[in-house]
Amino acid sequence: MRPVLYSFRRCPYAMRARMALAVAGLELELREVSLKAKPPELLEASPKGTVPVLVLPGGAVIEESLAIMHWALNQADPQGWLSAWDLSAKALMDALIAENDGPFKHHLDRFKYPNRYPGETSESHRRAALAILRGWNQRLSAAGWLLGDRPCLADWALLPFVRQFRLADPADFDAEPSLDALRAWLSRCLEHQTFKAVMQSPWAERSPWRSPSWLYHLALRGDWNTARQAGAYLISTRGQSLEQVGFVHLSTAQQVVATAERFYGDVPAGELLLLSLDPRQLSDVRFEPAPGTGELFPHLYAELPLQAVLLAEAYTV
């Protein structure tokens, strides 16, 4: 049994947790989730519903990114993010991370997503965030990293948030005065194997993990678009209507890949969608043997209600 990490590729908290877990050299099962439809297994482990969440083999749950980083580095800290520093340095790391997770994140969100915060001025939050960044810039100008001449926990914990700030307006960030050391640090971190590794497979996945609690249906993009316009999905499987067959072909999480290969192997990438379905919203599902193999497949003896579709995403293996 390996620990299970629920993660979201683009979440800055999940990025920093993945970095610590990867650096510690830990083996785990990564479950990419969509924040629009969180799998029941994640919510059962951690009802607050944020990522990252780490579930240990004994069942213990760690549901804060920083706690996951500490847990990982306690297992192994080969780059000395924590172990190579004394108590006063650790107190400084904590203070920098608190400044990031508190005021910096507060201003970053209001600058980056002005629509979510009506009545707030994006520019004043940008300036407040920049004031914090200038403080970090000053630290970085001494020896290149936040606490000295080598990276520590705080460098990696702050990195994904500084990256987000730049991505919100790269041209302005790149032209901003008095940020040279911070920009050099950011480029160095982004080019570092520690960061690059967690933005690609196997540390970051692009398609959501398939929950065994859900059911699935493969649909051609054109059929799905028609259904959304018409308000009803009336296809059974490729080239056959619900009316002709009498039920809609579904798959369990374990059956999706084989079904896609068998019936949709020639469909161009992006034209095949995987619909994730909430079985509680499907009225009459029967598990019936497929002709020939006898393998049991779920069949929906009703129209597929559009509200049962939790996610409709391009299918990737």
Ligand X SMILES: N[C@@H](CCC(=O)N[C@@H](CS)C(=O)NCC(=O)O)C(=O)O
- Report the interface residues with ligand X, using CB under 6 A: 8, 11-13, 35, 49-52, 64-66
- In the complex, what is the shortest distance from the CB of residue 195 to ligand X, in angstroms, rounded to a whole number? 16
- In the complex, what is the shortest distance from the CB of residue 196 to ligand X, in angstroms, rounded to a whole number? 20
Which CB, 8 or 233, lies closer to ligand X?
A: 8
- Residue 71 to residues 34, 54, 77, 174, 230, Cα–Cα distance (Å): 25, 10, 10, 35, 50
- In the complex, what is the shortest distance from the CB of residue 282 to ligand X, in angstroms, rounded to a whole number? 24
- In the complex, what is the shortest distance from the CB of residue 38 to ligand X, in angstroms, rounded to a whole number? 7
Place of tokens 């050391």: 181
Which CB, 12 or 39, lies closer to ligand X?
A: 12
Which CB, 168 or 267, lies closer to ligand X?
A: 168
Q: Mark 192-219 as b/e (b = at least 16 C-beta within 10 Å).
A: eebbebbeeeebbbeebbbbeebbbbbb
Question: How far is 190 from 196, CA to CA, in rounded Å?
Answer: 7
- In the complex, what is the shortest distance from the CB of residue 9 to ligand X, in angstroms, rounded to a whole number? 10
Strands 4-7 and 29-32: parallel
- In the complex, what is the shortest distance from the CB of residue 182 to ligand X, in angstroms, rounded to a whole number? 22
- Whether the Cβ atoms of residue 129 and residue 107 lie closer than 8 Å to each other: yes
Which CB, 33 or 304, lies closer to ligand X?
A: 33
- Whether the Cβ atoms of residue 307 and residue 233 lie closer than 8 Å to each other: no
Largest Cα–Cα separation, the chain: 73
Alpha helices in 169-305 (DSSP H): 170-175, 180-191, 193-197, 221-230, 242-245, 256-264
- In the complex, what is the shortest distance from the CB of residue 48 to ligand X, in angstroms, rounded to a whole number? 8
Question: How far is 311 from 218, CA to CA, in rounded Å?
Answer: 12
Which CB, 28 or 66, lies closer to ligand X?
A: 66
Which CB, 56 or 267, lies closer to ligand X?
A: 56
Which CB, 12 or 151, lies closer to ligand X?
A: 12
